[in-house]
């Protein structure tokens, strides 16, 4: 589904990604962990070209992102993204937040988009919030709406950029539950997170990043129970 080869990126003289190689398969849940500044968010944001990169190749669903002939909007139709800060559109109701892209990009009718939106709101447990504005939602509710908004495009892959990091602790669970359900339904997911419990329970594969490289990767059991590298061990000893 996603093939990343020798991905490199610098901000000025600071190289943040120093050659990433990874292949993400269909229906796979890949969890990316690592300390702040390890490049994990930058890596994720390269996958839908929110960040441009300097070297290497990324192929998403058959599209070469660096190919000038590739229409990035077409790629992004298939790649949903959920952000740390939700980024709901504050001037639109919850329903309009969710139906906007399906109507404008997929050209669905208002009826079809609304029906899909209501299904998704039911799925994340927020049918009663369809007609409110985002500023009246709690953080956990806002993030569940953001997930519903991304799913409304019926993407093939979902990217999660620290989706629970801006939440009060008691709201983390409700968001993780939605993500867990999504994984169970077979969604291909790449999740950057500090939730080690989620990584262990839901991840098919865990990537540990530090200093712009993937230091170690493996199943959750391999990474959490038997880490091989010193840096992995020292990171996990601090967060577990």
CB of 100 to other proteins, least distance (A): 6
Q: Please name which of 43, 8, 4 lies closest in space to residue 21, comparing C-alpha atoms.
A: 4
Q: Partners of 158 in the beta sheet? A: 80, 189
Using DSSP's 3-state secondary structure scheme, residue 123 falls into helix
One residue of 16, 33, 130, 150 binding other proteins per CB under 8 A? 150
CA–CA distance, 220 with 196 (Å, rounded to integer): 9
Q: What is the DSSP letter of 194?
A: S
> Is 132 near other proteins (CB under 8 A)?
no
153 binding other proteins? (CB under 8 A): yes
From edge to edge, which strands make up the β-sheet containing 14-24?
Answer: 14-24, 2-11, 55-60, 63-64
Tokens of 62: 């058959």
- 99-118 binders of other proteins (CB under 8 A): 100-101, 104-106
Comparing CB distances to other proteins, the nearer of 82 and 209 is 82
Nearer to other proteins, 68 or 90 (CB): 90
Residues 157 to 216: which contact other proteins by CB under 8 A?
Answer: none
Q: Which of 83, 198, 208, 235 binds other proteins (CB under 8 A)?
A: 83
Cβ–Cβ < 8 Å for 217, 23: no
Interface contacts to other proteins, rule CB under 8 A:
48, 50, 73-74, 76-77, 79-81, 83, 85, 87-91, 100-101, 104-106, 133, 146, 149-150, 153
């Amino acid at each position: 589904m996603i093939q990343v080869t020798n991905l490199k990126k610098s901000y000025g003289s600071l190289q943040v990604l120093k050659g990433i190689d990874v292949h993400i398969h269909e229906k796979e849940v890949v969890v990316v962990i690592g300390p702040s500044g390890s490049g994990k968010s930058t890596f994720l944001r390269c996958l839908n070209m929110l960040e441009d990169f300097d070297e290497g190749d990324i192929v998403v669903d058959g599209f070469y992102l660096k190919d000038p002939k590739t229409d990035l909007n077409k790629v992004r139709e298939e790649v949903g993204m959920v952000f740390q800060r939700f980024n709901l559109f504050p001037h639109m109701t919850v329903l309009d937040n969710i139906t906007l892209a399906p109507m404008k990009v997929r050209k669905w009718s208002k009826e079809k988009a609304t029906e899909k939106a209501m299904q998704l709101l039911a799925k994340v447990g927020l049918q009663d919030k369809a007609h409110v504005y985002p500023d009246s939602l709690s953080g956990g509710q806002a993030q569940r709406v953001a997930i519903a908004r991304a799913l409304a495009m019926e993407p093939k892959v979902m990217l999660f950029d620290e989706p629970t990091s801006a939440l009060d602790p008691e709201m983390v669970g409700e968001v993780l539950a939605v993500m867990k359900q999504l994984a169970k339904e077979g969604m291909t997911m790449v999740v950057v997170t500090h939730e080690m419990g989620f990584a262990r329970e839901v991840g098919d594969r865990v990537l540990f990043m530090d200093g712009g490289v993937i230091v170690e990767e493996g199943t959750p059991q391999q990474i959490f129970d038997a880490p091989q590298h010193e840096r992995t061990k020292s990171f996990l000893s601090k967060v577990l």
